[in-house]
Amino acid sequence: MKKRAHDEEQVSCVNNFEYHLCIFVQARRQREAEEANQKHQQEARLAEELNQQILADAQRHQHAKEQQYKSRNRNSIMTTVVPSAGDTPTESFSHEIEFSGISFDTVKFFHPHKGT
């Protein structure tokens, strides 16, 4: 009878150990699943932030290109048109001027550029 009680107690201990082991394993699996879920959410959040940064950079780049195009277009409109021969404004001086070894008494007001 003592032996039977002892055997039942051992079976009870084994069952109790298995039960606690099972609970421990389940808790660990649940914790790992939660960690994996958090990691997945973090990766998704980082990917979304990266996509937003890429989109913002693309928009800034496009805006810069448009500004550059507008600036070029404005510059080409504002370029000095080459006047026909004889229409170049000049300034004449009463005496001869020497500058860097060059003597002159008349200068053009501007140097015309051909519009592109």
- Closest to 116 in 3D by CA, of 87, 86, 85, 78: 78
Report the chain's terminal Cα–Cα distance, integer Å. 113
- One digit per residue, pLDDT tens: the chain, 116 residues? 566 655 555 556 567 777 777 888 888 999 999 999 999 999 999 999 999 999 999 999 999 988 888 777 666 665 555 555 566 777 788 888 888 888 888 877 766 566 54
The SS3 assignment for 96 reads strand
The SS3 assignment for 110 reads coil
